[in-house]
């Protein structure tokens, strides 16, 4: 299981939210390239970048994303980018600037043909689905809209989109450091027929070890790294122990 550090962007800065609520924003770095460099030094294989402004329709952070992609490419570190990607042109632009994987969330529900077209052109290895779950339902549009669509109905169909990876976030856990819902993640992972990456609530190295035992493909870690509960290097070592 690989450990993927997260860089969430708002107003050009590196921030963390609690359960996706903008009013809980905490700025950790005015310059997102600083944590990027630290993650690269710690041996990151992938970086998870989300444009929160684009997700929430507040604007976008494309300039800093381009800088992140350039620096990561120089270091031969892969980057997956998501947040408000609702057009083929925007997704294509991210690939042009070096993104290794584009993450589709709301578009998966509201514009599935866009996701299918992107996958046909760039391949499943460049295409990821973000499934954001609140209790038993899927949430979209920056988690502000809950759908009357149980995750258990959508996730088994993800393979039909020719998508290479599924990124699950448990909204009620995200940014809380309260520990992931192991049983829920295990149950959802069994529904997935593609590469499976979990996110939300990681607060200790023990959480990493417990997830690793589920034989997931990856886990995304954010706040625990920024709060210096553990380092990326320590998290990677914990993931390899199991």
Q: Which of 51, 53, 100, 132 is catalytic?
A: 132
The most distant pair of C-alpha atoms in the chain lies apart, rounded to whole Å, by 43
- The one catalytic residue in 8, 51, 53, 100 is 8
- Known catalytic residue at 8: yes
Strand 78-82 versus strand 195-199 pairing type? unpaired
Q: At what angle do helices 205-212 and 182-191 cross, to 10 degrees?
A: 30
Residue the block writes with tokens 């609690």: 18
Asked about 53 being catalytic, the answer comes back as no
- Tell me how far apart the alpha carbons of residues 93 and 62 are, in angstroms, rounded to a whole number: 10
The catalytic residue positions are 8, 132
């Amino acid at each position: 299981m690989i450990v993927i550090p997260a860089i969430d962007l708002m107003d050009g800065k590196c921030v963390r939210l609690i359960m996706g609520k903008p009013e809980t924003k905490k700025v950790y770095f005015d310059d997102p390239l600083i944590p990027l460099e630290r993650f690269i030094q710690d041996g990151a294989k992938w970086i998870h970048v989300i444009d929160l402004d684009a997700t929430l329709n507040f604007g976008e952070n494309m300039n800093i994303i381009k800088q992140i992609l350039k620096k990561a490419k120089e270091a031969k570190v892969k980057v997956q980018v998501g947040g408000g990607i609702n057009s083929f042109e925007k997704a294509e632009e991210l690939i042009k600037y070096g993104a290794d994987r584009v993450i589709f969330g709301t578009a998966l529900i509201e514009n599935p043909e866009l996701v299918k077209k992107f996958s046909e052109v760039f391949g499943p290895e460049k295409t990821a689905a973000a499934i954001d779950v609140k209790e038993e339902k899927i949430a979209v549009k920056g988690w502000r809209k809950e759908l009357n669509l149980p995750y258990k109905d959508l996730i088994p169909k993800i393979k039909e989109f020719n998508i290479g990876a599924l990124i699950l976030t448990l909204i009620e856990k995200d940014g809380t450091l309260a520990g992931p819902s192991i049983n829920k993640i295990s149950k959802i992972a069994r529904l997935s027929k593609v590469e499976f990456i979990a996110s939300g609530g990681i607060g200790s190295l023990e959480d990493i070890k417990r997830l690793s035992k589920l034989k997931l493909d990856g886990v995304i870690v954010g706040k625990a790294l920024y709060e210096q509960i553990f380092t990326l290097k320590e998290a990677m070592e914990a993931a390899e122990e199991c």
